[in-house]
Amino acid sequence: MKVLLLKDSKEDDSAQDPYIRELALHGLQATLIPVLSFEFMSLSSLSEKLSHPEDYGGLIFTSPRAVEAVELCLEKDNKTEVWEKSLKENWNAKSVYVVGTATASLVGKIGLDAEGEHSGNAEKLGEYICSSRSQQAAWLVLQAAVERNHCMFRN
């Protein structure tokens, strides 16, 4: 049976997309059709917010693209040096949460210590955060426009 995957290829250590490899183990022939285009929105606003960790109780990364957006802001606005000197430390003094192990790995590469990677989805991460922290400060939640209709935190 043939399967059509509408996603970008993510090669792992075996130089093969893990979805294609896993489906093949079950006798399925998968074909990838990558995303046609992607554009980050509001990078200047994100860059400004990243410069003021004192305004937030912490960071929540919902995807690898969220980490990529932070990296682009740092490069584009020549903030890499100030990130290394103070911003990274100021953000690490706060809570940093992630959805998934791939996102956690990328967050680690920009020098942040994250937790919650084993939650698996935004709803479970929200439950984890609510059970482990008091929610007194605003959070900087980095997510795709598609995800904005889903609230991570519920009353």
pLDDT digits (tens, 9 = 90+) for 58-116: 999 999 999 999 999 999 878 899 999 999 999 999 999 999 999 999 999 999 999 99
Q: What is the pLDDT of residue 151?
A: 45
Residues near 85 by Cβ (< 8 Å), separated by ≥ 6? none
| Mean per-residue pLDDT of the chain | 85
- Residue 83 neighbours by CB under 8 Å, 6+ apart: 74, 110, 111
- E-strand stretches of 13-126: 29-33, 58-61, 95-98
What gap in Å lies between CA 153 and CA 147, rounded to an integer? 13
pLDDT at 153 over 60: no
Give the separation between CA 140 and CA 153, rounded to whole angstroms: 13
